[in-house]
Structure 1
């Protein structure tokens, strides 16, 4: 990884708990779709966030979930709001898109894990890939599904991609599944053998997903998620 100075272009809320951050690197750097960077808050304080933009994008996009005022991520948001520049370290992560694989793909995001999936889907589109892909995004309620619009657009414009939005607390206008994210996947699949699976979300969700997927015959060499490096 190298340290890169970035100009802070934009910090705007998607909703009351998630912020979109756009950064313009002063030095171009290469990364793979699905990798992450660390925001340098101090010499020994470097905080990781998935890169939401694809490698061909001009700006680096982050989605930071920060609902509580003094929380770990909100401290980053406040720094970004009050600064013109920030240092990042990038790239990092081994759960990047394997474009050379033609196995069907399952993409899974819990909450702001969507940022990780966004980079992967946008890279698939940029590459002209047509591998059959199912994308599950699970949230507590529809308000928490902060970028539903772009996910539904992917679904409409790309025959190879199916978007399956899943929430636990539905409204009268909701168009999607009402279920826990992992329960929905368990309902939809008898076996996960033969799939490439990419997953991001809270560590407890990702850990529970791995246990479920083992029951469904997942090939762990084809299960990608950087959280697994921390929850062995």
Structure 2
């Protein structure tokens, strides 16, 4: 069993949950775990910590606002089971291709692991991070984002509240295309709803030359 070591608020609906594992876990940036409570309730969460081997992992968990929501059932010192790591959309660090990471809402935790891992590498690889949310208040950890090396660019994007999800994503892709006219030599990492990620993959492959085999997401 693992133990909930600490919990703290990151914004109005996201909490940082640090879990101490019974034994060391080897994981890659972009992978996720399943957390199982004693009552049997479980959830899947991206590991927000940078890639490393250790007994502590950080998760960012959203409050669903429901009375029986996962976060409401979690308390410091609780014993939980952690299954993983899982996922195939992990950071490929065996090449020098430039990287683009697109995250939506609480998908930031997935991107965070990739960004911090890349920041810790002795590399000149360029990384562009795009984070799209519905409200300005959804952004958090701006101090961490601002402290990243200059080779990692940060692009914060507010989705149009009045548009449907895919037309709002179109505006984000237009913004991306201003600085990235061709993605043939990029690795692209996506985290979000399945229909959104599939839409983005199709658009960037057809219009920006991205290679489908170099577009990674566990939503596919």
- TM-score bracket for this pair, using the shorter chain length: 0.7 to 0.9
Partner of 1:161: 152
Unpaired runs of 5+ residues, structure 1, are: 171-178
CA distance in 1, matches of 2:58, 2:190: 19
Q: What is the CA-CA distance between 1:82 and the residue it aligns to? A: 6.8
Per-residue CA distance 1:122-168 (angstroms, 9 max, x = gap): 111223232111111111122101222211221xxx12111111124
What is the DSSP-based 3-state SS (H/G/I as helix, E as strand, rest coil) of the residue aligned with 1:102? coil
The number of aligned residues is: 210
- For 2:123 and 2:11, how far apart are their aligned partners in 1? 32
Q: Which residue, out of 126, 136, 139, partners 1:132?
A: 126
Looking at structure 2, the residues matched to 58 and 211 of structure 1 have their Cα atoms a distance apart, in angstroms, of 39
SS of 1:10 mapped into structure 2: strand
| Alpha-carbon RMSD | 2.4
Alignment of 1:68 onto 2:60 = no
Alignment partner of 2:82 out of 64, 85, 88: 88
Equivalent residues in 2 for 1:138-217, closer than 5 Å? 138-154=132-148, 158-168=149-159, 180-215=171-206, 216-217=208-209
How far does residue 112 in structure 1 lie from its aligned partner after superposition?
A: 1.1
Change (3 A) 1:207 1:141: same
Structure 1 residues 77, 167: closer, same or farther in 2, change over 3 A? Answer: same
Counterpart of 1:101? 95
Instruction: Give the drift of 1:47.
Output: 2.1
Pair 1:19-2:19 in alignment? no
TM-score, normalising length: structure 2: 0.85
1:226 aligned residue = 218
Unpaired segments of 5 or more residues in structure 2? 162-169
Task: State the Cα distance separating 1:75 from its structure 2 match.
Answer: 2.4
